[in-house]
Amino acid sequence: MYFFLNYLSFVDICHSSVTAPKMIVDLLAKNKTISYVGCMLQLFGVHFFGCTESFILTVMAYDRYVAICKPLHYMTIMDWERCNKMLLGTWVGGFLHSIIQVALVVQLPFCGPNEIDHYFCDVHPVLKLACTDTYIVGVVVTANSGTIALGSFVILLISYTIILVSLRKQSAEGRRKALYTCCSHIAVVIMFFGPCTFMYMRPDTTFSEDKMVAIFYTIITPMLNPLIYTLRNAEVKKAMKRLWFRKVFLEANGK
């Protein structure tokens, strides 16, 4: 689990870094501009790291399924070679998804308005700027993103359905430990896939709520992920309690 958590944290940092620095600069600047190349790179980065994160979360659900439903075979099934192959697959899948999105947008002509109604370059807002019919491109973009979001969600649903069914055969203590292990991952999945489903599993349209939803899955969720996972760890909680009591003790002595 911690093997995949390391890379999930890395992807979260990269995902936020694609949009957050430019957004902060734009908040302080009068002229909010981005070059065409910069826009395409940002579009690629958002979809590359976002798609990779969705695949990593799916792989982590499978990892929890094996750990809970087949504990005696866990080390055999989830050996280092298989873990590395699955991780490589998440990166390759993210790259293929994002390169398709960028390829669909790059070939469009842009000759009209150049003002994006968003705080970063995403597919749907950029398609609105094209001075040609983008219906077919919009359908392909939605199919590309929707297939990944829906496919990942179905695999997650199947994994946790099997886990919940298998828990009926375990003791109360076993069920408590298994649910405790899965709770943090389920929370992260809901926070990530909820906004992504709203954004990308729909026709090529934009809503006023898009910017708020996008901030949630590009900045807020990556920021909360480390807190959610670390606060479920007993060792981290013990260390935080020691620091808290030490601080209280020092303040009491200082007074």
Residue-level pLDDT at 243: 80
For the stretch 25-76, pLDDT in tens is 988 888 888 999 999 999 999 999 999 999 999 998 888 888 888 888 889 9
Number of folded domains that form the chain:
1
* Residue predicted with more confidence, 11 or 183: 11
Query: Domain holding 80: CATH number?
Result: 1.20.1070.10
48 lies in which domain range?
Answer: 1-253
For the stretch 209-232, pLDDT in tens is 788 888 888 888 888 887 777 766
Residue-level pLDDT at 96: 95
Residue/partner pairs of 155-164 with CB below 8 Å, 24 or more apart? 155/58, 155/61, 155/62, 156/57, 156/58, 156/61, 156/189, 156/193, 159/61, 159/62, 159/64, 159/65, 160/61, 160/65, 160/186, 162/65, 162/69, 163/64, 163/65, 163/68, 163/69
Q: Is the pLDDT of residue 87 over 90?
A: yes
For the stretch 103-130, pLDDT in tens is 999 999 988 778 888 888 988 889 888 8
Smallest Cα–Cα separation from 8: which of 73, 55, 56?
A: 56
Which of 99-103, 139-143, 185-189, 225-229 has the largest mean confidence?
99-103
With 0.95 as the threshold, say if the pTM is over it: no
